[in-house]
Amino acid sequence: MSAPNKSYDPVEVEALKPEEIERMRDEALAAFAAADSLDALHEAKVAHTGPTSPLALANREIGALPPHAKADAGKRVGMARGAVNKALAARQAELEAERDARVLVEEAVDVTLPYDRVPAGARHPLTTMMERVADVFVAMGYEIAEGPEAEAEWFNFDALNFTPDHPARQMQDTFFVRGPQGDHGESGVVLRTHTSPVQARSLLERKPPVYVVCPGRVYRTDELDATHTPVFHQIELLAVDEGLTMADLKGTLDHMVQSLFGADMKTRLRPNYFPFTEPSAEMDMLCYVCKGASVGNPDRPCRTCSSEGWIELGGCGMVNPRVLIACGVDPEKYSGFAFGFGIERMLMFRHNVEDMRDMVEGDVRFTRPFGMEI
Ligand code: FA5
């Protein structure tokens, strides 16, 4: 900044000459008018109104003027700066309005366009049902156990006390993959006909106490019809510990149906035969729709249980001591219970599915109503 100048002549201070101030003002106005974007306007603003702009520098010169000249120069520079700021604000408003109008056009959403027709996937109800059942037992401390679907005949039959001439081994039930091999009769291979071989695998892999639940796919040479499929799913449960009795089995079954179908549910057992359990039973659960009220009551027929009041679930029983021995478990010390049932059948009565074929044909119109449950 110049030192105070007693013999001041404004004309001599170049930066404060009227025509010089006008030139600075006009240059600023022209730069603002030429700015075609907010970024360009910002650059022009810094150049023409910033601390090192010509008008700001001229303004500083005023301070060095003698008092009588200050007012005149100050007025000139002030008017020029006022005009520049006004033009800047006007151009800023103009460019912002242009930007807003452009954004409205560019980001417009046509709400009449068809929605995205690629639906998010959902899991098959058989999968979610199997997990739901398994979760009941995982919550009680059971472990999930697995076994192969192409299973050694020994695990599928022999270890489970199926005698060599048991009808279940015959071709009408079992898909045989490979017959016995070699001179020592190495076990043949079958597609497992039930999840029970996982009982034997679990007992050989673990030391008692054993508490496992095994969901899985099984195969039988059944024709595909409304109530059968050659590939279906079972869930198996095995508990082996000291002092387990049929009462533990019954309590576990009751807990399962109460968890899945409601607190007022119960089960009943009917005598049956399985080679790997002794005694064995068929397990039924109370019909969760009519709760037995349809029995002998023609005015209140129930489609779910055919007015029988009970729905058949599957098989169960106390683990046969011969199975424990085959798997190296001392039957004098340990006892166990097991049960197994079909998931397709459970899905059928739980959701009133009339034809099992709907579950395997892969039509999304069947699975969609089950929703996005995960
Ligand atoms: C068994 O498979 C025994 N392993 C169950 C068991 C486990 C008993 C543990 C004792 C202790 P079963 O052959 O009855 O039992 O079959 C069990 C269930 O599988 C049936 O109740 C039925 O729900 C289902 N099931 C059988 N065959 C088919 C099929 N072709 N299609 C769909 N589900 C089937």
Q: What is the CATH number of the domain that holds 312?
A: 3.30.930.10
Ligand 1: centre distance to CA 236 (Å): 10
Looking at the structure, do residues 257 and 298 belong to the same domain, yes or no?
Answer: yes
Residue nearest to atom 9 of ligand 1 (CA): 339
pLDDT tens-digit series, residues 26-79: 999 999 999 999 999 999 999 999 999 999 988 888 887 877 778 888 888 999
* 278 in a labelled binding site: yes
Please tell me the distance from the alpha carbon of residue 237 to that of residue 5, in angstroms, as a whole number. Answer: 106
Name which residue leads in pLDDT, 232 or 6: 232
> For residue 7, is it within any domain?
no
Mean of pLDDT values over 219-239:
94
Of the pLDDT bands very low, low, confident and very high (cuts 50, 70, 90), residue 241 is: very high
Which of 75, 107, 139 corresponds to the end of one domain?
107
> For residue 362, is it within any domain?
yes
Residue nearest to atom 24 of ligand 1 (CA): 342
Which of 79, 107, 135 corresponds to the end of one domain?
107
> Does the beta carbon of 234 sit less than 6 angstroms from any atom of ligand 1?
yes
Report which residue type is found at 172. Answer: Q
Looking at the structure, do residues 160 and 203 belong to the same domain, yes or no?
Answer: yes
Residue nearest to atom 19 of ligand 1 (CA): 342
Residue 359 DSSP symbol? H
Looking at the structure, do residues 64 and 167 belong to the same domain, yes or no?
Answer: no
Looking at the structure, do residues 188 and 101 belong to the same domain, yes or no?
Answer: no
> For residue 9, is it within any domain?
no
Ligand 1: centre distance to CA 315 (Å): 7
Of the pLDDT bands very low, low, confident and very high (cuts 50, 70, 90), residue 7 is: low
Number of domains in the chain: 2
pLDDT tens-digit series, residues 127-143: 999 999 999 999 999 99
> For residue 67, is it within any domain?
yes
pLDDT of residue 11: 47
Q: Is the pTM of this model over 0.75?
A: no
Which atom of ligand 1 is least distant from the CA of 195? 4
Query: Which residue in 257, 274, 263, 262 sits closest to 312, CA to CA?
Result: 257
Please tell me the distance from the alpha carbon of residue 353 to that of residue 303, in angstroms, as a whole number. Answer: 11
> Does the beta carbon of 154 sit less than 6 angstroms from any atom of ligand 1?
no
pLDDT tens-digit series, residues 324-371: 999 999 999 999 999 999 999 999 888 888 899 999 988 888 888 887
By percentage, how much of the chain surpasses pLDDT 70? 95
pLDDT tens-digit series, residues 255-286: 999 999 999 999 999 999 999 999 999 999 99
Looking at the structure, do residues 83 and 158 belong to the same domain, yes or no?
Answer: no
> For residue 119, is it within any domain?
no
> For residue 115, is it within any domain?
no
Looking at the structure, do residues 215 and 328 belong to the same domain, yes or no?
Answer: yes
Q: Do the beta carbons of residue 326 and residue 200 sit within 8 Å? A: yes
Ligand 1: centre distance to CA 299 (Å): 33
Looking at the structure, do residues 31 and 142 belong to the same domain, yes or no?
Answer: no
Of the pLDDT bands very low, low, confident and very high (cuts 50, 70, 90), residue 164 is: confident
pLDDT of residue 245: 97
> Does the beta carbon of 317 sit less than 6 angstroms from any atom of ligand 1?
yes
Looking at the structure, do residues 63 and 182 belong to the same domain, yes or no?
Answer: no
Looking at the structure, do residues 178 and 82 belong to the same domain, yes or no?
Answer: no
Which atom of ligand 1 is least distant from the CA of 234? 19
Looking at the structure, do residues 189 and 322 belong to the same domain, yes or no?
Answer: yes
Which of 37, 72, 107 corresponds to the end of one domain?
107
pLDDT tens-digit series, residues 315-333: 999 999 999 999 999 999 9
Domain that holds residue 88: 14-107
- Alpha helices by DSSP H, the chain: 18-34, 38-49, 54-62, 67-106, 125-138, 153-156, 197-205, 246-261, 321-326, 343-350, 357-360, 364-367
Q: Which of 130, 170, 172, 194 to mutate to test the pocket of ligand 1 (most atoms within 8 A of CB)?
A: 194
Of the pLDDT bands very low, low, confident and very high (cuts 50, 70, 90), residue 121 is: confident
Please tell me the distance from the alpha carbon of residue 250 to that of residue 248, in angstroms, as a whole number. Answer: 5
Which atom of ligand 1 is least distant from the CA of 193? 2
Looking at the structure, do residues 85 and 232 belong to the same domain, yes or no?
Answer: no
- In angstroms, the Cα distances linking 159 to 176, 182, 197, 218, 328 are 17, 20, 8, 18, 11
> For residue 3, is it within any domain?
no
Which atom of ligand 1 is least distant from the CA of 237? 9
Averaged confidence pLDDT in the chain = 90
Most confident of 9-13, 14-18, 32-36: 32-36
237: β partners? 213, 339
Residue nearest to atom 33 of ligand 1 (CA): 342
> For residue 248, is it within any domain?
yes
Tokens, residue 12: 């001599």
Looking at the structure, do residues 354 and 263 belong to the same domain, yes or no?
Answer: yes
